[in-house]
Chains A and B, each alone.
Chain A
Amino acid sequence: MIEFTNVSKVYENGTKALSNLSLSVDKGEFVFVVGPSGAGKSTFIKLLLREETPTKGIVKVNGYNLNKIKKRQIPQFRRSLGVVFQDFRLIPQMTVYDNVAFALRVTNVASRSIRQRVPYVLGLVGLAAKARNYPDQLSGGEQQRVALARALVNNPPLLIADEPTGNIDPELSLEIVELLNEINKCGTTVVMVTHEHELVARFGHRVISIDHGSLVSDADEWGSFYEG
């Protein structure tokens, strides 16, 4: 599903973000990516989304070779991903419903399937009752669930979460990760970047740790990471 082969990224200003990173994530996995700030996590995400291209090495995601993908194929590729961010990135002028429907409207989905699909995912994240609310009327946890609904609405095989709990109270953070866990159980591959070790320890998934742009460890569980 995701394959990084000897990937290095040096930005134009000379910052070395990743050096010789190799890793792979299989279909159906739930993977935490951890590391201190400046470790290269954001660059990792940007490479996954094809917002950046690697300076060296090969990035393959969802069967697309992102080194060779043509510009006009990028939209198609991105439709095979769901992404949530720390800052939710909801549109404040739109209701919850419209925020979720937006992802479908702008990708040429017929109105009929939008009307079916949006209430379904809102139900999935437990926000069916708040469909008519605006983002600023919701708590941080609820806003993130809206973002999650938007990420899931076109049923992507891969979900990428970039510090999804960064702006949320600890109790609600747990809810979000539990939700991601449920989504993963339904077959969606989940990659979650975080630096909240407690959460990572609690869920017992594979943990990829990067620092200074390189792979520090790749363990089946947080515990074995400590022991190893």
Chain B
Amino acid sequence: MDQLKGFKLEPKQLRMYGIIGSVVGIYLTVGLNAMTGTKVFSFIGCIAALFAVLWGANSIRRICSYGLGTGVPAMGMLCTGMACVAAVFGLNIAGRFGFDWGGPIITLVYAMVFGYVVGTLCNKVMKFNIPIMEEGLMDGSGACTMAVLAWSVSLSGSLSYNEIIATVYNTGFLAVIFILGGMALFHPFNANLGPDEKQDRTLIDGMMVGGLAMFGLGICSIVTIGFAPAMLTIVVGFALWYYFFVWYFRLAKRDAAAVVGTGLLPPSAL
């Protein structure tokens, strides 16, 4: 059996990583692009999204551990839906005040408040009675919004509301961000559901899907930011996907009862 060391992260730690990683990443993308006058650094946006995915996947994992088996995808879709609204809202408000640079902060604050309100409605009005619903949905909504924003920035290369509308919304790539983003958030817990689910394996699965999303969005960005910067996103995305896939496979091997090339059922079951 592969003696692979895992990791354990607290929700507060992950929230910090998610917020700092995604916000810094988005500003780094836009800043470097603006400084060099190119779109070459757009791939950093997708890496920023990975931090948000890590944060979001853990929040979905926490909420859904309360027995929401079939509700896992629904929770992810709910967060992505809130994210798409929040991202447009934040950027639009920032654009109206002529303060494009404040977009991510306004978006983040709005999304987290939005998530908290929806969580309160679920618990108080719909009587879900899940103790961490408010906190979980606040995290989920915030994380997903930052992921959607980071992917949008990586597709457009800038933070301008008009440019993001033209490159992400009008081209229909929002559909891809919506569904791939949702998958990156809920697939990890959904795919690892079971009594022996482990946090590190789930989160690495999320990073793997995040890498896959980066690869897909790299293909999208061929028509929005040009061939060369898009190829950078595709290559980095593929490398990240491969790295995390191998890691995930090793974690699955570590946790499984047995990994066999072929064979009959376990002797206890025959």
Instruction: Tell me if chain B binds chain A.
Output: no
